[in-house]
Amino acid sequence: MRIIFIGPPGAGKGTQAERIVAKYKLAHLSTGDMLRAARDAKTEVGLKAEKYMSGGQLVPDEILVDMIAERLKQEDCQTGYLLDGFPRTIAQAEALDSMLDAKQTPVDVVLELQVPEEELFKRLAGRGRADDKPEVIRERLVAYTNQTSPLLEYYNKKGKLKSIGGLGSIEDIFAEVVQVLDTFA
């Protein structure tokens, strides 16, 4: 199963992603985690990315597209994966589509986790990551609204989008996720 997981920062995507990959035995491709690892290792990509991440801006598309293209070639991705945090722009989605079209391995479903903005701000402010300062949180939410949310319409038109409410207990939300994913597994 190949899944794209979309949701605003603070929606609880990371928590649900862990459960999804464990249950369905998928590779977990979190671009946020990959970029933080690159930053901490001080690689060329990591140092470049850091400038954007620390301000809550998106890292340039070409960096992400190259990173994902490499990752998707690896053995553990051949039986299925969860893309968590990618694509985040229409350009990234188009690049991903052409990669997957070439291999004839389309995405099965695009799962959206929906949470109202007031709730996101509350959650993020209580988290304490380096990019969780109020002004940076605001930038990340703006980036989501302007650059990422157009993907919902993009995938909806392709008939791939399934949306789930992200309010409630972790267990209840996961139960809804499973209900959707079981139809593709």
Binding site for ligand ADP (CB under 6 A): 9, 31-32, 35, 52-53, 56-59, 64, 85-86, 88, 92, 140
DSSP 19: H
With tokens 């690689």, the residue in question is 43
Residue 35 Cβ vs ligand ADP, minimum distance, rounded to whole Å:
5
Closest distance of CB 22 from ligand ADP, Å = 19
Nearest residue (CB) to ligand ADP, 94 versus 182? 94
User: Within a 10 A sphere around the Cβ of 26, how many other Cβ atoms?
Assistant: 21
**Cα end-to-end span (Å), the chain:** 6
- Of 86 and 174, CB closest to ligand ADP: 86
Between CA 173 and CA 185 the distance in angstroms is 18
Q: How far apart are CA 133 and CA 36, in angstroms?
A: 17
Q: Closest separation between CB of residue 88 and ligand ADP, Å?
A: 4
Closest residue to ligand ADP using C-beta atoms: 32
43 or 185: CB nearest ligand ADP: 43
Task: Report the residue number, 37 or 185, with the smaller CB distance to ligand ADP.
Answer: 37
Torsion from C-alpha of 146, 7, 84, 124, nearest 10 degrees: 90
